Amino acid sequence: MSEILQSAGATAAEGPRERKRRATRQRIAEVGQRLFLTNGYEATTLDAIAAEAGISRRAFFSYFKSKDDIIFFWLEADGANLIASLLTTSPDVPPLAAVRDVMVKHIAHYTSEQMMAVDNLMLSSASLIARKQAHYAVQEQALFNALCEVWRQPERRPALRMVAMVSIGAMKIALQAWREQTGPRKPAAKFLRDAFDSLKTAL
């Protein structure tokens, strides 16, 4: 899923030093991603990542605090792509429908094989499982902030908070159902759309 990492782009005000640091961080993340998916999380050492990325073990800690941080670098970059798409939405669209459409379109970019590889990786470590749950709260806050950027009326904020909460909930339920399915595998995007349809019916 190297396309996830493409979102960590340069900013207009970024100087040569910042660009070099960003490029190095990106390279470390790409190397870590490849080694994790090839060899597994536990079998991939910091020494192996550093050597493959062309840096020292000591230098690694100037960019990431742990192996976990490499994985959440991907997730944060992926989430930033989703938020960027949501920010282009017209305020004439109902917020829940806008979030549904953006999420479904976003997840449809990934194949079942790509998603399964990352899902298995996230379940391979107790520390990753714990941080994944905390990451959902970060996603919810980022989603709420984006909703408030598009639908700016202050009186709408309580409803937008609920949209953010139920949207993340729908995503969690959809991914669990996708993971636990049997028989010919259906894409995650279908489970996500079904989850939002069930939410709309229940409301």
Domain end: 39, 60, 81, which one?
A: 60
The string of pLDDT tens digits covering residues 62-85 is 999 999 999 999 889 899 999 999
User: Are residues 157 and 181 both part of a single domain?
Assistant: yes
User: Are residues 32 and 86 both part of a single domain?
Assistant: no
CA distance 36 to 128: 13
User: Are residues 175 and 86 both part of a single domain?
Assistant: yes
pTM for this one? 0.85
User: Are residues 133 and 113 both part of a single domain?
Assistant: yes
User: Are residues 40 and 80 both part of a single domain?
Assistant: no
CATH number, residue 51: 1.10.10.60
User: Are residues 97 and 181 both part of a single domain?
Assistant: yes
User: Are residues 40 and 81 both part of a single domain?
Assistant: no
Query: DSSP for the chain?
Result: -GGGGGG-PPPTT--HHHHHHHHHHHHHHHHHHHHHHHH-TTT--HHHHHHHHTS-HHHHTTT-SSHHHHHHHHHHHHHHHHHHHHTTS-TTS-HHHHHHHHHHHHHTTS-HHHHHHHHHHHTS-HHHHHHHHHHHHHHHHHHHHHHHHHS--GGGHHHHHHHHHHHHHHHHHHHHHHHH--SSPPPHHHHHHHHHHHHHHH-
Domain end: 13, 45, 60, which one?
A: 60
User: Are residues 15 and 105 both part of a single domain?
Assistant: no
Tokens describing residue 74: 């991907």
Residue-wise burial string across 108-128, b where 16 or more C-beta atoms lie within 10 A, e elsewhere: eebeeeebebbeebbeebeeb
The sign of the dihedral angle between the CA atoms of 137, 141, 143, 144 is positive
User: Are residues 84 and 46 both part of a single domain?
Assistant: no
Q: Which pLDDT value is given to residue 32? A: 94
Q: Which pLDDT value is given to residue 188? A: 94
The string of pLDDT tens digits covering residues 131-188 is 888 899 999 999 999 999 999 999 999 999 999 999 999 999 999 999 999 988 899 9
User: Are residues 56 and 79 both part of a single domain?
Assistant: no
Domains held by the chain: number? 2
pLDDT exceeds 90 at position 127: no
Q: Which pLDDT value is given to residue 146? A: 98
Name the residue among 13, 65, 54 with its Cα closest to residue 31: 54
Average pLDDT rounded to a whole number, residues 39-61: 94
User: Are residues 197 and 174 both part of a single domain?
Assistant: yes
Residue-wise burial string across 2-41, b where 16 or more C-beta atoms lie within 10 A, e elsewhere: eebbebbeeeeeeeeeeeeebebbbbbbbbbbebbbeeeb
Domain end: 12, 34, 60, which one?
A: 60
Neighbours of 194 (CB within 10 A): 16
User: Are residues 142 and 184 both part of a single domain?
Assistant: yes
Average pLDDT rounded to a whole number, residues 19-27: 93
Q: Which pLDDT value is given to residue 11? A: 52
CATH number, residue 184: 1.10.357.10
The string of pLDDT tens digits covering residues 94-110 is 999 999 999 999 999 99
Query: Where in the sequence is the domain holding 26, given as residue range(s)?
Result: 2-60
